[in-house]
Structure 1
Amino acid sequence: MNDRPSPGGPLVTYRARLAEGVLAADPAQARAVEVLQDLWRRTRGYDPHPEEPEKGGFFARFTRRKPVAAEEAPAGTPMGLYLVGEVGRGKSMLMDLFFETAEVTRKRRIHFHQFMQDAHRRIHAWKKQHGDTADPIPPLADAITSEAALLCFDEFQVHDIADAMILGRLFQALFARGTVVVATSNTAPADLFKGRPGRDAFLPFIGLISRRLEVLTLEAARDYRRDRIRALPTWHVPADERATRALDAAFEELTGQRHGKPMRLTLLGRSLEVPQAVEGVARFDFESLCGRPLGPADYLAIATHFHTLILDGIPRLNPENFDRARRFITLVDTLYEHRVKLLASAEAIPDRLHEEGHNAAMFARTASRLNEMQSQDWLGLQHLT
Structure 2
Amino acid sequence: MKSLTDIYASKVASGALTADPAQEAILPLFDEVYAALRAAPRGKSGLLSLIGGRKPPPVIKGLYLWGGVGRGKSMLMDLFHAHSPVPSRRVHFHAFMQEVQVGIHAARQKGVEDAIAPVVESVADGIRLLCFDEMQITDIADAMIVGRLFEGLFKKGVTVVTTSNRVPDDLYKDGLNRQLFLPFIALIKDRLTVHHLHSPVDYRQGRLTGTPVYFHPVDEIARRAIAEIWTDLTGGQTEGLTLHVKGREVLLPRFHNGIARATFWDLCAQMYGPADYLAIADAVKLLILEEIPRLSRSNFNEAKRFVTLIDALYEAKVRLVVTAVDKPERLYIEGAGAFEFERTASRLREMQDANWGQD
> TM-score scaled by structure 1?
0.87
Conservation of the 8 A alpha-carbon contact between 1:45 and 1:103: no
Runs of 4+ residues deviating >6 angstroms: none
Is the 1:79–1:214 Cα contact (8 Å) retained in structure 2?
Answer: yes
Provide, for residues 113-160 of structure 1, a one-character-per-residue CA deviation record: whole Å limited to 9, x for no partner. Answer: 22222222322332233x1x5212222222222221111111111122
State the match for 2:68 in structure 1.
Answer: 86
Give unmatched runs, 5+ long, in structure 2: none
| 3-state DSSP of counterpart to 1:351 | helix
What CA distance in whole angstroms lies between the structure 2 residues aligned with 1:201 and 1:47? 35
RMSD: 2.2
Structural mapping, 1:22-171, within 5 Å? 22-47=16-41, 49-50=43-44, 74=56, 76-104=58-86, 106-129=87-110, 131=111, 134-171=113-150
Query: Which residue identity lines up with residue 350 of structure 1 in the other structure?
Result: P
CA deviation profile, 1:81-128 (whole Å, cap 9, x unmatched): 101111100001111222222212x22122112222222232233223
Tell me the secondary structure at the aligned position of residue 360 of structure 1. coil
Q: What is the CA–CA distance in structure 2 between the aligned matches of 1:323 and 1:75, rounded to whole Å?
A: 55
Partner of 1:253: 232
Q: Distance in 1 between matches of 2:41 and 2:320?
A: 43
Whole-angstrom CA distance in 2 between matches of 1:288 and 1:50: 42
Does the aligned pair in 1 maintain the 2:45–2:126 contact within 8 Å? no
The amino acid of 2:332's aligned partner reads H
**Native 8 Å contact 2:296 2:333 kept in 1:** yes
- For residues 270-281 of structure 1, the aligned pairs below 5 Å read 270-281=248-259
- Partners of 1:151 and 1:180 within 8 A in 2: yes
Which of 3, 12, 26 lines up with 2:6 in the alignment?
Answer: 12
Q: Deviations over 1:343-363 (max 9, x none)?
A: 111110011111122312111
Contact 1:47 1:149 in 2 (8 A): no
Runs of 5+ unmatched residues, structure 1: 1-6, 54-65
Residue 47 to residue 276, structure 1, CA distance change in 2 (3 Å): farther
Q: Does 1:211 align with 2:190?
A: yes
**More deviation in 357-366 or 74-83?**
74-83
Identity of aligned residues (%): 44
Q: 1:287 to 1:34 in 2, by over 3 A?
A: same
Distance 2:24 2:4 in 1: 11
TM-score (norm 2): 0.93
- AA matched with 2:20: D
Q: Is the 8 A contact 1:123 1:136 kept in 2?
A: yes
Q: CA deviation at 1:47?
A: 4.8
Is 1:368 aligned with 2:343? no
Number of residue pairs the alignment of both structures matches: 355
Which residue identity does 1:114 align to in structure 2?
A
Offset at residue 232 of structure 1 (A) = 2.8
Aligned pairs for 1:260-339 within 5 A:
260-339=238-317
Name the SS of the counterpart of 2:29 in structure 1.
Answer: helix
